[in-house]
Amino acid sequence: MAFPSPLSGRGMVGVCLLALLGCGGLPDARPASRTLRIAGGPGPPLSGASRQGTPSGFMVDVLNEAARRAGYDLAWAAAFRAPDVNTQALRRGEVDLVTGVSTPERMREFYVSEPWWSVQVVALLGADSSIRGEADLRGRRLALTSSLVPLVPAAFPGAETTEKRAPIQTLEPLCQGAVDAALMEEMYLPGVLLSLPASCRSLSLRAVYSTAYVDYVLIARRDGAQAARALRTALDDITVDGTLATIAARYPALSTLHAQRLAATLQVRYARRTFAIGLGAASLLVLLGVVVTVALSRSRLRLRAANQQ
């Protein structure tokens, strides 16, 4: 007489699932190394050109390291070009990636990654100005660069804006009394204050820090989104392990503290994700253990009944 096995039926399924859980994962499907053409960032101190004319700067160093870890090589098309020039080059297929800020136009047409670096927005104004805080900037006349325009409706509602091509150019209308404040990213502040236009040299200035940030992202055509995602993942990796903060420390105008805060935030996020995965796996193991126990118990009962017969 053939007797049922204690590991038959659902018990065997449970054991198989347990075995699968204990097995190692699949080999890392890292993309083969290839070259990605990338357009330069917004200019110094994020990016610039060395004396030899090659792209250099914080953004260049960071993205080159991320590309190396993701299995790509970056060919930098230019160290600095205007945002509309970069967008047109991406549209025509002359480059595969663009570094810069997200805009509604870019989000409609291209793949835009999650931000990997942020810079706080600062308002420069006269020392005797009635503006004391961020709330006082609402409805005011503001001089700013085009990269800050998308922030205005939410951060400075009702403001009347005057666009300039470079942060240093926003000071001219401020010092002439044509605007109430000049908005710029914090990283440009040292250079701007060291290169004041003639109309500002007799004017005392002070800064008001806002809660608005300019977020830097990776932009790619839809068919190049996979490579952009791979670089974005590698950027998280170098942020968590402290490499980003180390690179930021080479450039005094940038905030190393901000890089360290980014790393801490990502580490907490990863810890929560790992805890959730571990908790889910532990729950699954307990559930499978119960299934296996019940199946074995039923199998023993069937075996005892068969032996009695």
74-124 pLDDT tens trace = 999 866 677 788 889 999 999 999 988 888 888 999 999 999 988 889 999
Q: What tens digit of pLDDT does each residue of 199-224 get?
A: 887 788 888 999 999 888 999 999 99
- Number of Cβ within 10 Å of residue 5's Cβ equals 12
Comparing 264 with 76, which gets the higher pLDDT?
Answer: 76
Q: Is the pTM of this model over 0.95?
A: no
Residue 186 has pLDDT above 80, yes or no: yes
Rounded to 5 degrees, φ, ψ at 84 are -70, -30
3-state secondary structure of 81: coil
Comparing 294 with 58, which gets the higher pLDDT?
Answer: 58
What pLDDT is recorded for position 46? 78
Residue 6: is the preceding peptide bond cis (ω within 30°)? no
What pLDDT is recorded for position 162? 94
The mean per-residue pLDDT over the stretch 261-273 comes to: 56
The mean per-residue pLDDT over the stretch 285-308 comes to: 58
What pLDDT is recorded for position 71? 94
What pLDDT is recorded for position 271? 55
Least confident of 134-148, 175-189, 198-212: 198-212
Share of the chain above pLDDT 90, in %: 34
| Residues 57-68 as b or e (16 or more Cβ within 10 Å = b) | bbbbbbbbbbbe
What pLDDT is recorded for position 87? 87
The mean per-residue pLDDT over the stretch 241-264 comes to: 74
What pLDDT is recorded for position 24? 45
What pLDDT is recorded for position 19? 44
Give dist(CA 182, CA 123) in Å, integer.
5
Average model confidence (pLDDT) for the chain? 78
Q: What is the DSSP letter of 164?
A: E
pLDDT-derived band at 240 (thresholds 50, 70, 90) equals: confident
Residue with tokens 């008001």: 208
- Cβ atoms of 295 and 10 within 8 Å: the answer is yes
